Amino acid sequence: MMRSSRTAPCLSAFCLLLLAALAAPAQQLPPPSREPVDVPRIEGKVSVDGRLDEPAWQQALILDLPVETQPGDNIPASIRTEVRVFYGRDAIYFGLECFDPDPSAIRARFAERDQFESDDLINVNLDTFNDERRNYYFGCNPLGVQKDGLETTGGDQSWDAIWASAGRIHERGYTIEMAIPFSSLQFQRTAGPQVWGLDVSRWYPRSQRRRMGLVPIPRDDNCYQCQFMKIRGFAGIKPGRRIELVPTLTGIKTDGRDPMPNGGFSTISKDLDPGLTAKWGVTPNLTLNATANPDFSQVEADAQQLNVNQPFALYYQEKRPFFTEGADFFSTPFRAVYTRTLRDPRWGLKLTGKEGANTIGAYFVQDELTNLIFPGSQGSGAASLDQLSSGLVLRYKRDLGNRTTLGALFTNRGGEDYFNRVYGLDGAARFTRRDRLTFQFLGSSTAYPDAVALDNGQPLGTLSDRAFSVEFQHTGRNLQYYAGYDDVGPEFRADLGFMPRVDYRELEGGVSYGWRRNRGWWSQIRLGTSYERSEDRQGRFLFEMNSVNLTFQGAMQSYFYVYGYRMREDYLGRVYPEWAAETLLQFRPIAAMQLTLYGNLGDAVDYENARPAWQVQANPALTLNLGRRLAFELDHNYKRMNVGGRELFTANITQAKLIYHINLRLFLRTIGQYVDYRYNAANYTFPVDPVYRRFFTQLLFSYQLNPRTVLFLGYSDNALGTQDYRLTRSDRTIFMKVSYSWQI
């Protein structure tokens, strides 16, 4: 129990809230909305070219999108969309006629896969297991550029499938044609007809971004998939052998300057590595992936993050294909699985899928380098062990009816004189259409090599501890509230996850109320407040925060958010009172331009010197589409911190990206990142270099026939600068990757 008496009323209220949720009558869950609609099976050749002129399209099931669900509250759609659906032996087909009163206003551009949120868009959502928990989505803009992913509680936009699409803009609007192979889907293993869930949406971005849908989406229901239309058919469909082989050849050569800044360049590394990734559909809904000597490199640099005065490790998004596929299977309330921890794997195996009510996920990877995070209550450290380690993750979930899911997780990472094991249970339950409870309990056991433990301030011997999380959410039409509690022990470690903070008990909760309009210059306003308090496991105060916030959405696709808070924070035995505010403004003054501005102003803590401070941060960003083929992005991050009325540091990070698309499959991209940190050495309590500068550039040529048949050619370099010398190129790299997806 938390020792502070001030938290007792909050804990009591939280318990009463959970008891009320548990007592809620189950009959409040909505019944199935409608009888299944039959989708015809039609055998006939269809050319995916954006023209619905084959005879099969005249025999297809015809639907429309009758309702506007955003920002309108399930009102009649203002534009007409016609959807045609049928399936054949190997695929399901969708043809969409998207009528537009002003085709010249259609927003469409050539873009990288999954990177066109500002365009007109069609999404097809398929719940192939009809379990109302998870769905595939397949999207196209009017030029046929693809996006796809998995929609769950956590979401997985990184999932990629091989499917065909085409788009065509014409005098009536635009036409989209899709062919989604059954080999790209997992589905039920039944001999007779199957029932799937279906929703189709059309996003119509003009002054406001409107969504037209196949079915109404109630504001006060926390289950999106429960609203899907039911479609019936697919008897006897098979995914084929579902064998895919992807041989890969990667070449990289890096030269470095030694010594800096006047030394010459010499070769640091030069590698030409073949690799192989294989995929086998063991059953219609179980997939086995294997990879040997894999290419786990990524061809886009991570966006630079401010790492000055940051006590905890920074999180980076996973982009490597072997790990991104099926990533949603491994998501839990705690971030207990984080594949960026695995730095340089030799080989790996992965099994994912769903059999009936059972979802399973597993992978095993051998890693050449062992990266470690040493977490704490007020900061984290890191180290890398130059030793081979193995990582194993096992995940299981069981659906109990249409309301509850229970899961289990086990991870194991081991090397020479080192191991970390995590095990636990989690679950989610929908008590009513508005109320949802999630929880997770984890235990861990860890041992580091003695030398590593001593060097990084870790206890010797075996470390064992636990972590617990519970959260309740109420999603009403206007009123929303939540309450949550986390308890993580000081010796808890999740070395295959991302949990840089341990040794705390934290209680939080919040409530908000919103207003919506179907038409007008604003569409939504929401006002809310929240409370959060944390103590370590010994009962010592860590922080307490009270906040109020306001959000606004309206014309010019505008979004405005302001957040003000008062916080008390303990750091190294001293309590710092803080008043601060942050804000975010995003809008599109014209169709081709998006402007974003984030700002933060107020009191802060100088963690490096353990003193009160004041800071200002500004992050403006610009996205500009110059016609259908050229796009420009500019992002700047500025932060200044003062201590005692004098500057402590000023940090600037600028990133610019220019992309030119030759066609749907070919593009050229250049990225430039500039980092400039200036430190006032006289205001530090320890020696510090006053200047650090870095300039990174990357040029990439990309050809992508599909997500796994690709050719990349690129060049990148780094330049460094200090108080002693100006920016000087420190290294340069040329790289090449070619892979081919061979499907059997």
555 vs 418: CA distance, rounded Å: 56
The confidence band for 159, taking pLDDT boundaries of 50, 70 and 90, is confident
pLDDT at 724: 93
Residue 23 domain flag: no
The pair of three-digit structure tokens given for residue 495, joined into one six-digit string: 């070395």
* pLDDT average, residue stretch 659-667: 94
Residue 37 CA to residue 86 CA, distance in Å, equals 12
Average of per-residue pLDDT across 199-212? 95
Grade residue 153 by pLDDT with cuts at 50, 70 and 90.
low
686-702 average pLDDT score: 95
What type of residue is 161? A
531 neighbors 549 (Cβ within 8 angstroms): no
Same domain, 198 and 326: no
Question: What is the b/e burial string over 406-423, where b = at least 16 CB atoms within 10 angstroms of the residue's CB?
Answer: ebebebbbbbeebbbbbb
Percent of the chain, pLDDT > 90? 69
Among all chains, which residue has been given the structure tokens 């397949």? 138
Q: Highest mean pLDDT range out of 18-22, 189-193, 673-677?
A: 673-677
Rounded mean pLDDT of 194-210? Answer: 95
Range with the largest mean pLDDT of 27-31, 148-152, 571-575: 571-575
pLDDT at 300 (0 to 100)? 53
47 versus 354: the higher-pLDDT residue is: 47
pTM of the shown model: 0.84
pLDDT (tens digit, 9 = 90+) per residue, 456-471?
Answer: 989 999 999 999 999 9
Residue 669 belongs to some domain of the structure? yes
The pLDDT of residue 355 is 82
| pLDDT confidence of residue 45 | 84
pLDDT for position 340: 81
- Asked, as a colleague might, if the bond just before 261 is cis with ω within 30 of 0, I would say yes
Residues 133, 184, single domain; the answer is: yes
Q: Are residues 343 and 408 in the same domain?
A: yes
Give the per-residue pLDDT at 156. 54
What is the band of 5 on the pLDDT scale with cuts at 50, 70, 90?
very low
In angstroms and rounded to an integer, the radius of gyration of the C-alpha atoms of the chain is 27
pLDDT of residue 31 exceeding 60? no
Asked if the structure places residue 290 within a domain, the reply is: no
The DSSP bridge pattern shows strands 709-722 and 728-739 to be antiparallel
By the 8 A CB rule, do 481 and 509 touch?
yes
Of 332 and 345, which is predicted with more confidence?
A: 332
Q: CA angle at residue 617 from 611 to 623, to 5 degrees?
A: 160
Q: For residue 36, is pLDDT > 50?
A: yes
Give the integer Cα–Cα distance in Å for 56 and 93.
10
Same domain, 418 and 452: yes
Domain of 657 in residue numbering reads as 251-280+608-744
Q: 255 and 170 share a domain?
A: no
Domain count, the chain: 3
Mean pLDDT (whole number) for 122-137: 92
Determine, yes or no, domain membership for 549: no
351 and 258 share one domain = no
Q: What is the pLDDT of residue 6?
A: 40
354 pLDDT tier (thresholds 50, 70, 90): confident
CB 663 within 8 A of CB 684: no
Strands laid side by side in the 61-64 sheet: 61-64, 81-87, 91-99, 173-181, 164-170
Tokens 């949406």 identify what position? 201
What's the whole-number mean pLDDT along residues 190-201? 92
7: pLDDT strictly greater than 50: no
Are residues 732 and 698 part of one domain?
A: yes
Which letter does DSSP use for residue 378 in this model?
Answer: S
How much is the pLDDT for 12? 38
Least confident stretch, 11-25, 268-282, 457-471: 11-25
Closest CA to 424 of 399, 451, 394, 400: 394
pLDDT confidence bin for 299, thresholds 50/70/90: low
Q: Are residues 496 and 635 in the same domain?
A: no
Q: Do residues 197 and 272 share a domain?
A: no
Asked if residue 68 and residue 186 are part of one domain, the reply reads yes
In a domain, 634, yes or no: yes
Burial of 23 (0-12, 13-18, 19+ CB in 10 A): exposed
pLDDT for res 433: 87
Q: Are residues 45 and 148 in the same domain?
A: yes
The band of 295, judged by pLDDT with boundaries at 50, 70 and 90, is low
Percent of the chain with pLDDT over 70: 91
Q: Which of 2-6, 114-118, 619-623 has the lowest mean pLDDT?
A: 2-6
pLDDT category, 368, cuts 50, 70, 90? confident
> For residue 60, is it within any domain?
yes
Query: Looking at residue 1, what is its pLDDT?
Result: 35
3-class DSSP state of 57: helix
> What is the model's pLDDT at position 32?
42
Query: What pLDDT is recorded for position 304?
Result: 56
Selection from 166, 181, 202 nearest residue 54 by Cα: 166
Tell me: do 161 and 48 sit in the same domain: yes
Q: CA 742 to CA 205: how far, in whole Å?
A: 38
Q: Residue 179 is part of a domain; what is its CATH number?
A: 2.60.40.1190
pLDDT at 302 over 80: no
The reply to whether omega before 31 is within 30° of 0 (cis) is: no
User: HEC states along 95-133?
Assistant: EEEEECCCHHHCCCCCCCCCCCCCCCEEEEEEECCCCCC
- Kindly state whether residue 691 falls inside one of the protein's structural domains: yes
Surface-to-core class of residue 467, CB atoms within 10 Å of its CB (0-12 exposed, 13-18 middle, 19+ buried): buried
Whether 486 has a pLDDT exceeding 80, the answer reads yes
Of residues 301 and 103, which shows the higher confidence score?
A: 103
Digit-coded pLDDT (tens) for 70-116 = 999 999 999 999 999 999 999 999 999 999 999 999 999 999 888 88
The H or E element containing residue 14 is helix 8-22
Residue 400 confidence (pLDDT) above 80 = yes
In a domain, 382, yes or no: yes
